[in-house]
Amino acid sequence: MSSASSSPAPSPPQSAAKSPRVCLNCRRKKKRCDKQLPSCSRCIESRQICQHEDDASIASHSSTLGTHRYEPLMGQYIPTGGQQLSRYNTLNPALFATMDAMEGIHSYVFRTLLEVAESRQGVENVTQAYFRDVNTWFSVVPQGLFERQLDEMWMNPSAETAVLVLCMRLIIRPPTANPLSGMADRHYLSTKTMLSIVQSKVPMSTALLQAELLVALYEFRHSMPQQAYMSAGNCFQMSRAFGWHNKSFWALGPQSPGPRELKLCSILWWAIVYVDCVINVVYEDQKYPTHTLIVTSELTIPFPEAYDLYLPGSLAYDFHTQSERYGYLDVDLEQIDGVVWPEAHSAAFLSSALQQPTSTHLPSVLAQHSTTEMIMGHTISLLASKQTAAVGTNFIALMKLSQPGLLVGASALSQGSPSDVGPIETIRYVIDSICSGAVTSEQGGLIDAGFTPCDAFAAYFASLILISHGDGVLQDPEWLLKVEGLKTFLESVCHRWRTADTYLESVNVALNTRLGVYVA
């Protein structure tokens, strides 16, 4: 009998170990399985992961997407030459062979998407869920434009569109019950790996920037500050490569992109600013410097609605009227024309708050009061809408402007109490609004309908302010009742945003310490 082994001294043939059950691949395909270990012959031929129900080492770490594992991305590599590598110790090299041979990156990512979502209907279910949820408060993908690209993908596969859908699927998933950190989540690792593969194979595009923004948002909401900071940095570098840091890019002219393209670029730029500033504020103890402040301080990048005047048939919004109306998103989010992105203004406000000097010099104080009034007007105009990300971010900016020390350094709350009447009233207004929103969401069961990581952070920070200053300079006799209400809100948000777990733990520690001192 001839041997295919390349070893210099092959061992005598021995009876191979067998599993008592057929492997999962053969059972799913309803094929006869020889039950050989560590891999049956069919899995060797098809270069698939051979798994058995009784393989405890794999089952304990498996993570599913629907009824299928992310098998095309992570797994055991079984070379035909007889060499055996351990399970899950590397990405399968055979996975990448087709990209360099006959399949190509576009067909490869498209096929992977179908294996993950199982069908065209599964893909459409993912995108519909995304537009009903995340895109209503973090609007980086115009639905009408995307749906046209998605329809085209079925006839002409696109790696950029397919990987964007994978990122949509990632961001709509709630936290897993696995107590391990987010980096142990195979869905996250597989999606991010796929995005890296696509970025290395195709030119940069707005679709890839949108996908990277969704990954950064996922990392932020799952308490992965280092990964979120790096992803936000990637987005910033892509914007630089696109030429967005040049003033001439944003001016309409014969050589410039059209107004619709410039509006989308503006949407994505302010989304980068939004994520960058939120990471800086929420993880202030990490001391991550912002990427975008240097650009926003030196260059005035137009808001998205500035280009509506040049779009045929769209409404032009005036953001400088006496009524200071800030506009709203279209109800169905299907068209980019005439749509106002409130998050863009919230990002600009928070960026401005982070740049505000702490000096008591009169011009600085006047500028701070002017910014505060604009944020208040913007917030009031959005309270009845679904733009809770913009509202939550505005609350954070207002707290930052009113008390800069509260958001500076790990021990911010110990740096002093509020002293001026104006800032105190602002803090009271913000806290009361946050508490009212938390109660309303609890009573209406709206936690899953759009409450965002920024809402959770605003509730967390309001709790810390109440615990430290509620019965002091804020003179709030109901401070403890409000803290308990905010804790209940955070408990409800925990199953949607992993960051809420961290916030709730910090609030409990601070409250227990405070009550211990108070009782004594």
Look at residue 333 and tell me whether its pLDDT is greater than 60: no
Q: For residue 253, count CB atoms less than 10 angstroms from its CB and return exposed for 0-12, middle for 13-18, buried for 19 or more.
A: exposed
Angle at 282 between CA 398 and CA 511, to 5 degrees: 85
Q: What is the mean pLDDT of residues 117-128?
A: 89
Question: What are the residues whose beta carbons fall under 8 Å from the beta carbon of 413, sequence distance 6 or more?
Answer: 406, 464, 465, 468
In angstroms, what CA-CA distances link 93 with 50, 62, 396?
16, 20, 46
Helices (H), 451-498: 453-469, 479-493
Least confident piece of the model among 68-82, 270-284, 288-302: 68-82
Average pLDDT, the chain: 73
pLDDT given at position 314: 52
Q: How far apart are CA 255 and CA 249, in angstroms?
A: 9
Residue 278, Cβ neighbours under 10 Å: how many?
Answer: 26
The helix (run of H) or strand (run of E) holding residue 354 is helix 342-355
Nearest to 422 by CA among 392, 402, 394: 402
- Which pLDDT band holds residue 384 (cuts at 50, 70, 90)? low
- The reported pTM is 0.71
Q: pLDDT tens, 131-183?
A: 988 888 888 898 888 999 999 999 899 999 999 999 999 998 876 655 554 45
* Residue 223: half-sphere exposure toward Cβ, Cα within 13 Å: 17
Query: Are the CB atoms for 374 and 349 separated by under 8 Å?
Result: yes
pLDDT given at position 161: 94
Angle at 508 between CA 502 and CA 510, to 5 degrees: 100
Q: How far apart are CA 396 and CA 274, in angstroms?
A: 12
Percentage of the residues of the chain whose pLDDT score is greater than 90? 17
pLDDT given at position 214: 95
* Residue 187: half-sphere exposure toward Cβ, Cα within 13 Å: 24
pLDDT given at position 88: 35
- Which pLDDT band holds residue 216 (cuts at 50, 70, 90)? very high
* Residue 110: half-sphere exposure toward Cβ, Cα within 13 Å: 17
Question: What are the residues whose beta carbons fall under 8 Å from the beta carbon of 221, sequence distance 6 or more?
Answer: 453, 497, 498, 499
Numbers of helices and strands, H then E, in the chain: 20, 2
Query: Are the CB atoms for 108 and 99 separated by under 8 Å?
Result: yes
Least confident piece of the model among 13-27, 56-70, 166-180, 346-360: 56-70
Q: How far apart are CA 217 and CA 141, in angstroms?
A: 14
pLDDT given at position 268: 94
Look at residue 498 and tell me whether its pLDDT is greater than 90: no
Ordered by start, the domain boundaries in the chain are: 24-89
| pLDDT, greater one: 130 or 396 | 130
